[in-house]
Amino acid sequence: MKDLRNLKKIELHRHLDGSVRLDTIIDLGKKYNINFGAGVDISDPHFKNKAQVLEPMNSLQEVLDCFWILQKSMVNYEAIKRVAFENIEDCFNDGIEQVELRFAPTFIAEGKKLSYEEIIEAVIDGVNKGLEKYPLEAGLIHIVPRALSLKDSEQATKEILRFKEGKGKDLIVGFDLADGEDFDQIDRYISVVEMAKKANLGVTVHSGENTSSSHIEKTINTLSPDRIGHGIKIWNDKKVMDLALKKNIHFEVCPTSNWLTRCVENIEDHPIKNMLEAGLNVGLNSDDPNLMNIDLTHEYHVCKERLGMNLDHFKLMNKNASLASFIPSKG
């Protein structure tokens, strides 16, 4: 099989604010004298174990602690711009020819004196700087995290839409709802999703990651997204699979992430191959690569070596991702 790093890949589910290089966290920590929290010391040789998820989690808190270390490193405009630039550089080195990077202004802003405007501008400037240097296509997805205030997210969404009318015109392409799902709370998000749709943003929703196929069904019926993030709990539920097939919903699947957060017990149990072979519209993604010390090429290796997938599967997943991309095609 062709070298998987050089295989031309498309990635639709990659969190920019969940992918800060370890060296960059340490560097920014030193430069800006960042306090990463009690007991977290960047000069500790075991800092890596605090800032990255390297083994299946023992508790959700462990993973959240890692996210907050990344979050704290994005301390100002310059730091965020650097992280955005390095995300593009990492994608290029991963053999990615088209990427959609997602980020949550409300998450990055939490606990800092940074406006959504500054954050969004830093991301756009960093991505554009990356695109000047590396020949790939990129788009940005705005995340509304369910775990943070909806009122703040509505404000951040308005700010994103303002940028879409201006300097983010060519980059801002999508909207995402992320974090843990609450079955009974989904109606709360109808208005913000409608706001995004009206502005011509594609809509994707994290659903059925560690929950159930009923969550996916409710997500599809309530929010009518174009794509579902993860969605692996759909496997074996014929009724919901038929619904997803009928609506041609694209699934952004991230095997190692699902293993590390214990959504699947063993990587060999992961349903990605079955989902694809059942005709579901599936693509392969890395989710939070630097947080998890992986990249997209690693995910292709996992699929090949642990799940028995081959080049035909890979071609099909990239074709699916290409058709489901929110980036307008040039042709």
Under the rule (CB under 5 A), what is the footprint of Zn ion? 287
Cβ proximity to Zn ion, 42 vs 254, nearer residue = 254
Tell me how far, at minimum, the Cβ of 184 lies from Zn ion, in Å.
Answer: 22
Which one, of 160, 172, 82, lies nearest residue 117 by Cα? 160
For the sheet containing 281-284, what is the strand order? 9-15, 96-103, 137-145, 172-178, 202-207, 227-230, 250-253, 281-284
Closest separation between CB of residue 15 and Zn ion, Å?
A: 6
Shortest distance, position 231 Cβ to Zn ion, whole Å = 11
Answer yes or no: are the C-beta atoms of 21 and 86 closer than 8 Å: yes
209 is catalytic: yes
Q: Is residue 175 helix, strand or coil?
A: strand
| DSSP-derived secondary structure letter, 329 | P
The nearer residue to Zn ion, 42 or 101, going by C-beta atoms, is 101
Strand 137-145 to strand 9-15: parallel, antiparallel, or no bridges (unpaired)?
A: unpaired
Amino acid letter, residue 27:
D
Residue labelled with tokens 């501008």: 121
Helices (H), 142-295: 150-164, 190-198, 213-223, 238-246, 255-260, 272-277
Nearer to Zn ion, 217 or 287 (CB): 287
Residue nearest to Zn ion (CB): 287
Q: Which of 209, 217, 252, 299 is catalytic?
A: 209
Please say which residue, 18 or 130, places its beta carbon nearer to Zn ion.
18
Active site residues: 209
